Chain A
Amino acid sequence: MSEPVPPAHRWGSLQKTANLQLGPNGRLRHFLTLEGLPRTILEQILDTAQSLVGVTDRTVKKLPLLRGKTIVNLFFEPSTRTRTTFELAAKRLSADVLTMNISASATKKGETLLDTLRNLEAMHVDMFVVRHADSGAAHFIARHAAPHISVLNAGDGRHAHPTQAMLDMFTIRHHKGEFHRLRVAIVGDILHSRVARSQIHALNILGTGEVRVIAPKTLLPSCPESLGVQVYHNIDEGLRDVDVVIMLRLQRERMGSALLPSGHEYFQLYGLTEDRLSLAQPDVMVMHPGPINRGVEMDSQVADGPHSVILQQVSFGIAVRMAVMSLAMRSSEAIARDLPA
């Protein structure tokens, strides 16, 4: 059996090729990014989430899967929805949950991220759920946390937001079934979006027929094709015959900056209207991570219309996060058993 954790040498060297996310037997150990994960694990997450959806509807909404476990939500960046769904997911699995909102200013007082981590580890934590404004923060924490601790990425910079993407995959599968038959278009600010990066990986791993991104060049990374997508700058062309449209949220500060002239012009060029939606498949499904900027990303008629699945996404979110938590914890227990006492 392979060494479970690359030793964190004091000079910070690391094993670049080791898949940090997989433990012994190829099981999920950390959940940092979807890149590099096998399809079987993604399907396992979706199947597990499926079996957990019912729990949310029961009167007694608890399962004992993580009883006695301590989960710390480490939020270095403000978030309401992601934080509360992670909290609820942990509580429904009977774990003890502690949420820490650590503002950037607190960490600038001299305590490093690593110091914070070491202090918390001393409290016998089993899992960290991390959100951080810097790309790579979750990888960093996973690399340096004690070997029995699982790290779940709840969003790091522009890099990844894998549970959000899995929730979107769950929603797509729920409504559309098999991925290989689908054309999926992602519209909007791909450059700054960790959600988009994770969605693209997830869609490709699950064998989606065609993944498209639709945006002006200012909202795309350089060489976007290298991510495994077809690139469209014209939304009318990009929406043709698609089965799923994922609208990304446009941050207010992007409008009127050098990235975009105005929300008005953006809506004219990339806003989702009923007319444009008619170019897609008749049973097209429209998703949005919310909250929607009505009249910027899409029309109210589309947001509230029959194709929209925006609200349903929230309730599935808890089930998906429960699935990831229970799978990752099972693997870290396996590691704890294999570690010398």
Chain B
Amino acid sequence: MSSQRIHIQGGRVIDPANGIDAEMDIYIAKEKIVAVGSGPEGFQADQTIDASGQIVCPGLVDLGAHLREPGQEHKATIRSETRAAVAGGITTLCLPPDTSPVVETAADVELIRRRADDSDLARVLVIGALTVGLQGKELSEMMQLQRAGCVAMGNAHKPIRSSLVLRKALEYAGTFGITVFLQPEDPDLADEGCAHEGVVAARLGLPAIPEAAETVALARDLELIRQTGARAHLGRLSSARAVEMVAEARAAGLPISADVSAHQLHLTEMDIGDFDAQCHVRPPLRTQRDRDALRAGLANGILDAVCSDHQPHEPDAKMAPFPVTEPGISALETLLPLTLKMADEIGMPLIDALDLVTAAPAKILGIKAGTLSIGAPADICLFDPASWWTVSPETLYSRGLNTPFMGWELRGTVTRTLVGGRSVFVAPSPATEA
């Protein structure tokens, strides 16, 4: 608990939710933002944070981060990964239900919440299982899960093979206004594949995942959403065609939103090179055309948000021949700089780029976060937009060092992160002084 009164002074405040981009001060009391601009009458700060040269924005909201706890603590823990989250400026993140045990009872939700409270770093929101054991056969007790605090229901990256089950799940969730998170992939078309069906898989003889694995599943999902009227979020899209389909569906008024992982905005199948297992991700890295369409989709509002799809691994998970390595990237700490880099490369204004990782994902979740509005929780990220850092085992806080961006120089260094008005991360070296 923090009842400190804090004055953040001299920073460039960017608050996409309120369309603010100006040099301003922020005042915090009782864990909330109490004023922006000039301080309340008689405000006596216990702490003044000098933010000159920094950008002050809402703490980032991440729609998908696998924290590996409970069940896979050899990869990472809630403590280790919420630490990495705040080091990356993320103050709220969504944990998909593919933990062990799967999140399908109130007790599972409670366990995660307790672990997150113990760590007391980033806020952890839980996505409940849409089907029992993520098996895609029986519906989970969605209302119990919602009452226990789940923000949405989903099946993580486990596809629901039966269209009948998906239809019923959407109908049931729709009855109670529950948002359903879907990651479209047709398991029969994806088969044993591990790389995009394109020139690289052809050359390396890698079992391939065709674009149709995503688009066929997406077409089915969209039709069922249309028919049931359920509110759904389509996550981790990877292909140009999927962006087109989402655009058509939105134009037709479907109640949907969509996101893309940050790595999909920068890498393509070519980055696999000669079997670089760090580029083994699901959905697979596709072509430059797909990458450019995903960027354009963000720029023109067809896609709402960028997420990390954080999947930390122990080193052994990637130390094997490419097809048998585990897919996924440790990505919390590169979410902000990769989003900034994309914005820089396509000429997107900073405020729009920050919207993709703050207000937009908060809106999808329907939560009070991702904004610097008066009365909002004081979840704030301060970063130096001009400072470069190198992704390396020394600079990462995550237990997972599995990232294809290892060695990349990225611009945008988080200097301080506040959650509920408390500084949960302060950059070690030069940094701003309290």
Contacts and interface: CB of A to CB of B under 8 A. Distances in A.
Interface residues of B, number: 34
26 contacts: A11-B315, A11-B401, A12-B278, A12-B315, A12-B402, A13-B407, A17-B273, A20-B274, A113-B320, A114-B316, A114-B319, A132-B321, A134-B320, A136-B206, A136-B321, A136-B323, A137-B321, A140-B321, A157-B206, A157-B321, A157-B323, A159-B204, A160-B205, A221-B197, A222-B197, A222-B199
A223 to B, nearest CB: 5
B207 interface: yes
Contacts of B39: none
Contacts of A79: none
Contacts of B324: 134
Contacts of B319: 12, 112-114, 140, 144
Given A134-B324, A136-B206, A222-B201, 10 more contacts: A10-B315, A12-B402, A113-B320, A135-B322, A136-B204, A144-B319, A157-B323, A197-B205, A223-B198, A226-B199
Contacts, number: 103
Interface of A: 10-14, 16-17, 20, 35, 112-114, 132, 134-137, 139-140, 144, 156-160, 194, 197, 221-224, 226-227
Nearest to A158: B205
Contact of A16 (B198, B205, B276, B393): B276
Nearest to A19: B274
Contact of B321 (A10, A13, A156, A197): A156
Contact of B205 (A113, A114, A157): A157
Contacts of B8: none
Contacts of A135: 204-207, 275, 321-323
B205 A194 contact: yes
B320 A112 contact: yes
Interface string B319-363: 111111000000000000000000000000000000000000000
B172 to A, nearest CB: 34
B206 A158 contact: yes
Tell me whether chain B's interface is mostly helix, strand or loop, or mixed: loop
Contacts of A16: 271, 273-274, 276
Contact of B203 (A112, A134, A144, A227): A227
B203 A226 contact: yes
B202 interface: yes
Majority secondary structure of chain A interface residues (helix, strand, loop or mixed): loop
Interface of B: 197-199, 201-208, 210, 271, 273-278, 315-316, 318-324, 393, 401-403, 406-407
A14 B273 CA distance: 10
A110 B303 CA distance: 42
Nearest to A14: B276
Contacts of A139: 274-275, 321
A112 B320 CA distance: 8
A5 B199 CA distance: 28
Nearest to B206: A135
B278 A134 contact: no
Contacts of A112: 316, 319-320
Nearest to A113: B320
A221 B324 CA distance: 20
